[in-house]
């Protein structure tokens, strides 16, 4: 997958991608860095992996730093943005990519804490650093975005409900963001081959990925979907603030404005 962004097109801009030490986040932050943005690779506990990505980007001439933060912890998030303010002086692109809820050994309400509460916490903490003309991108799935109108697999239901709750809460801030000159867009994708979520779903419900692929005709891989997320950071914002990636024919329409 080639970078969808032109070299130098993001020169002078600063970007934070949450949960970007691997997967969709890592590919997204790489695309942004290769296009000239100074980027922050955010991780929760995989410091070595985040630092390895930063070293790879810096070796190509990009500007990148790694900052660890537990997004469910207010003090940790505040410390991350203090570092960003000190090192970068502000932000122009915020990609809310980090999510979870299917991990084993977590508290019962962890999905809600991460997929709803933490998303609001991060955006609110970022607001003083975001400039007029900046962009906020929230990454979600069709299974979550359409959960109010289309059922999903039981194994994914807590994640889907919490991610949709996070999306709704963020959409509630659109008037505030608009007044500040900050754009907001939701990027919703079908199941993505090669992600941790897809792996966990397949483990819990064998055949789930192949069945969805048969129904959709094609599933995006990590690099392809990350390219759509990167584009969402610069493309014109749709009227409904939503960028749908992949097949949606099996999902009943949802009225975001009414939710």
**4 within some domain:** no
Reported as a single tens digit per residue, the pLDDT across 237-246 is 999 999 999 9
**pTM to 2 decimal places:** 0.92
Which pLDDT value is given to residue 101? 72
Tokens of 175: 């008037």
pLDDT tens by residue, 167-190? 999 999 999 999 999 999 999 998
Helices 23-34/47-59 angle, 10° precision: 20
Averaged pLDDT of the chain: 91
> 109 pLDDT exceeds 90?
no
Angle at 138 between CA 250 and CA 26, to 5 degrees: 100
**Residue 203, pLDDT score:** 72
Q: Is the pLDDT of residue 256 over 60?
A: yes
Q: How confident is the model at residue 91 (pLDDT cuts 50, 70, 90)?
A: very high
The reply to whether 9 falls in a domain is no
CA–CA separation, 35 vs 48, rounded Å? 24
Over 90: is that where the pLDDT of 95 sits?
Answer: yes
Q: What's the half-sphere exposure (Cβ side, CA atoms, 13 Å) at 225? A: 27
Is 118 inside a domain boundary?
Answer: yes
- Say whether pLDDT at 258 is over 60: no
Checking if the pLDDT of 147 tops 50, the result is yes
Does a structural domain hold residue 254? Answer: no
Cα distance between residue 165 and residue 73, in whole Å: 19
Residue 5 lies in a domain: no
Mean pLDDT score, 139-159: 93
Q: How confident is the model at residue 107 (pLDDT cuts 50, 70, 90)?
A: confident
Total domains, the chain: 1
Whether residue 138 lies inside any domain: the answer is yes
Lowest mean pLDDT among 58-67, 108-117, 171-180, 193-202: 193-202
Q: In the 3-class helix/strand/coil scheme, how is the chain assigned residue by residue? A: CCCCCCCCCCCCCEEEECCCCCHHHHHHHHHHHHCCCEEEEEECCCHHHHHHHHHHHHHCCCEEEEEECCCCCHHHHHHHHHHHHHHHCCEEEEEECCCCCCCCCCCCCHHHHHHHHHHHHHHHHHHHHEEEEEEEEEEEEHHHHCCCCCCCCHHHHHHHHHHHHHHHHHHCCHHHHHHCCCEEEEEEECCCECCHHHHHHHHHCCCHHHHHHHHHCCCCEHHHHHHHHHHHCCCCCCCCCEEEECCCCCCCCCCHHHC
Would you state the pLDDT for residue 196? 65
- What is the per-residue pLDDT for 187? 98
User: Would you say 96 and 18 are in contact if contact means Cβ atoms under 8 Å apart?
Assistant: yes
Give residues with Cβ within 8 angstroms of 159, minimum separation 6.
99, 100, 101, 102, 111, 115, 144, 197
Specify the pLDDT at position 103: 67
CATH number at residue 75: 3.40.50.720
Q: Which domain holds residue 192?
A: 14-247
d(CA 11, CA 157): 40
Q: Does residue 32 form part of some domain? A: yes
pLDDT at residue 257 is higher than 60: no
Mean pLDDT on 39-57:
96
Which percentage of the chain shows pLDDT scores above 90?
A: 75
Higher pLDDT, 168 or 254: 168
Structural domain includes residue 65: yes
């Amino acid at each position: 997958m080639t970078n969808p962004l032109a070299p130098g097109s993001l020169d002078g801009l600063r970007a934070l991608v949450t949960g970007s030490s691997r997967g969709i986040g890592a590919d997204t932050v790489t695309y942004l860095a290769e296009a000239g943005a100074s980027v922050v690779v955010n991780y929760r506990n995989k410091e070595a992996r985040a630092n390895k990505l930063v070293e790879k980007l810096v070796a190509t001439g990009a500007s990148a730093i790694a900052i660890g933060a537990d997004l469910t912890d207010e003090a940790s998030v505040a410390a991350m943005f203090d570092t960003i303010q000190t090192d970068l002086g502000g932000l122009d692109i915020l990609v809310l990519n980090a999510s979870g809820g299917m991990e084993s050994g977590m508290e019962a309400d962890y999905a809600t804490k991460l997929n709803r509460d933490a998303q609001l916490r991060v955006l609110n903490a970022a607001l003083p650093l975001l400039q007029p003309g900046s962009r906020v991108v929230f990454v979600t799935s069709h299974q979550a975005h359409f959960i109010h109108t289309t059922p999903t697999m039981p194994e994914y239901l807590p994640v889907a409900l919490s991610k949709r709750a996070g999306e709704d809460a963020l959409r509630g801030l659109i008037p505030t963001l608009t007044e500040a000159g900050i754009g907001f867009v939701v990027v919703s994708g079908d199941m993505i081959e090669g992600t941790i979520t897809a792996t966990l779903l397949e483990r819990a419900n064998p055949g789930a990925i192949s069945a969805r692929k048969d129904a959709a005709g094609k599933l995006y891989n990590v690099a392809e979907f990350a390219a759509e997320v990167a584009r969402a950071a610069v493309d014109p914002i749709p009227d409904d603030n939503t960028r749908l990636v992949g097949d949606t024919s099996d999902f009943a329409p949802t009225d975001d404005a009414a939710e």
